[in-house]
Amino acid sequence: MDWKKNLNRIVLLGIVWVLLTACGQATPAPVSSTPTREPVATFTPSPQPPTATLAPSSTPEPVATATLIPNYPPEGYGPGGFPADVNPLTGLRVADPNLLNRRPIVIKVENLPREHRPQYGLSLADLVFEYYTEQGTTRFAAVFYGQDAEKVGPIRSGRFFDVHVVQMYRAVFIFGSAYSAVFNRFASSDFASRMVLENPQSCPALCRFEPEGRNFLMANTRELGAYLKSRNVDNSRQPLDGMYFNLQAPAGGEAGEQVYVRYSGAIYNRWDYDPATGRYLRIVDAKDDVNRNNPQYVQLTDALTNQPVAADTVVTLCVPHEYFFKSTEIEVLDMKMDASAGSYRGCDGQIYSGGTGAAYVARDGKIYKAQWSRPRQDAPLTLLDEQGNLFPFKPGQTWFEVIGASSKVEKSDNGYRFTFAIAP
C-alpha cells in the first residue's frame, strides 16, 4: 500500500470538503491515514470538536410490533404500491405518515465494550444490520424511518460495509469517523453530501451525552430534519420498493425457536422465539468465551425504552468477505454485497453470482432457507425463496446477521447455529 499517495489523496479530499462545507454540506469526519486497532475493553472517543450536551431522555416511545395487527390484508404489502401511510421497510402503518416524507437514516452503533451496553434506540429502528468489523468485534448499522428516537448510540466509526446499507436505502448516514481508505470511499460515493458528522453546529441532532461520566456521541432523529435543511441536504421522500410483507407465515420451514450466531470468542448472540409476542428476543454474550465451550448470556434491553430488544424477522445473510488490509493486530474487511463479488460458493455450498447469496429467515418460530437479492445498488434488500419467488418478511422490525460466505451452518433440534468464518 502506497501511503504517500494515499496521504496526498486525503489532503486533496480535505480541500474539497472545506469547499463543500462552505456551500452548506456536511462536515467531514476525522480520518486516519493508517488502519488502527480499536480497543475492545475500553473506549477512546474520536477527536471531535466540543458540542452541547444532550439532555436526558423523557418518556420512552412505543415500539412498533407486528403482533395482533387488525385488518392486515391477506395478500400482504409490497414489493411495490405501498399505501402512503405504510412503511415500506416494515410493512406497518405508521402513526405519523409525515415521517415517511424523508429519507431513511442509517446510524452506526457500537457493540463493545460491554460496559457501554445496553445501547440506546435500537428497538425503534426499522432494520438493523449486525456485521463483523475486526479483532472479534461487531457493530450495528441501524436504519430509522417510520419511528423517531431521541437517543441513538453510542455512535462509532464507519466501515466499508456501510456503503451498501446507505445506498440500498438512499439514506442519510450518521457515523463518528473513519479510517482514510474507508472515508475516501464514502467521500467519492453518491451519498457524500448526506454524511452527518459531529461539528459545532450538529447539536441537537448529533451531540455528546455523558451518562455516569461516559463520553457518548448520540443522535436524535427528531432533530435531524432541521439540521439537514440548514445544510441544504436533499431529504425528500425516496422510492423504497422491494420488500414484501405478509402476516401469514409461509408453508414449510423447520424448527426455528432459537437462532445462534457466533462471531468470535467475544461476540456471540442467540435469538429466542417468544410465542406470546410472536417475536425473537435478543440474548447476548455476558462475558468472553474464548474457548467457545462456556457461553454465558444475558437478555438485551434498550436503554431508551427500557424494553427488551426483539425482532419480528431475523435474517442471517451469507456474504463474501475479503481482507482489504490485514496484519497480526489489524483487520480491515470489505464485504462484496454487489456484482463485484462475481461467482462464489455460499455457506450452503451452492454457487451464487454477485448481488445474491444464501439467507436463513427466522419468523414465527420457524426458519426457512432462502436467498437474499440486491437487484440494484439503490434498491432495498429483497428475499427470494428457493424457486426465485418473493419470500415474505413478517411485518415489523427485521434484524440482519451478516456472516461470511464460508461460515459454518448447523441444524439443531430447535433451530440453527451459525459460526462466522472468512475464507483464507
Q: What digits encode the pLDDT tens for the residues 360-406?
A: 999 999 999 999 999 999 999 999 998 999 999 999 999 999 999 99
What Å distances lie between residue 154 and 75, 164, 201, 333, 365, CA to CA? 39, 21, 19, 22, 31
Instruction: Name residues whose C-beta falls within 8 Å of residue 349's C-beta, 6 or more positions apart in sequence.
Output: none
CB 212 within 8 A of CB 154: no
Domain-embedded: residue 39: no
Residues 199 and 79 in one domain: yes
Q: In the numeric block, which cell numbers belong to residue 174?
A: 450518521
Residues 285 and 148 in one domain: no
Residues 169 and 302 in one domain: no
The residue from 196, 230, 264 where one domain ends is 230
Residues 207 and 304 in one domain: no
Domain-embedded: residue 210: yes
Domain-embedded: residue 284: yes
Residues 126 and 263 in one domain: no
Domain-embedded: residue 245: no
Q: In the numeric block, which cell numbers belong to residue 335?
A: 464485504
Check whether 52 has a pLDDT greater than 90.
no
Collapsing DSSP to helix, strand or coil, 66 comes out as coil
Q: Which stretch of DSSP H or E encloses residue 262?
A: strand 258-262
Q: Which of 286, 280, 293 is nearest to 414 (CA)?
A: 280
Number of independent structural domains in the chain:
2
Q: Which domain CATH number covers 280?
A: 3.50.90.10
Quote the CA–CA distance of 421 and 227 in Å, as a whole number: 40
The mean pLDDT value for 161-190 works out to 97
Domain-embedded: residue 58: yes
Average pLDDT of the chain? 87
Residues 336 and 284 in one domain: yes
CA 412 to chain centre: 27
Q: Which of 292, 289, 291, 273 is nearest to 281 (CA)?
A: 273
Q: Percent of the chain having pLDDT more than 90?
A: 79
Q: Are strands 258-262 and 415-419 parallel, antiparallel or unpaired?
A: parallel
* Local confidence band at 65 (pLDDT 50, 70, 90 cut-offs): low
Site of grid cell 426499522: 126
Give the pLDDT score at 6.
42
Domain that holds residue 88: 3-31+44-230
Domain-embedded: residue 193: yes
- pLDDT digit string (tens) for 271-291? 999 999 999 999 999 999 999
- pLDDT digit string (tens) for 74-110? 999 999 999 999 999 999 999 999 999 999 999 999 9
Domain-embedded: residue 424: no
Check whether 27 has a pLDDT greater than 60.
no
Residues 73 and 197 in one domain: yes
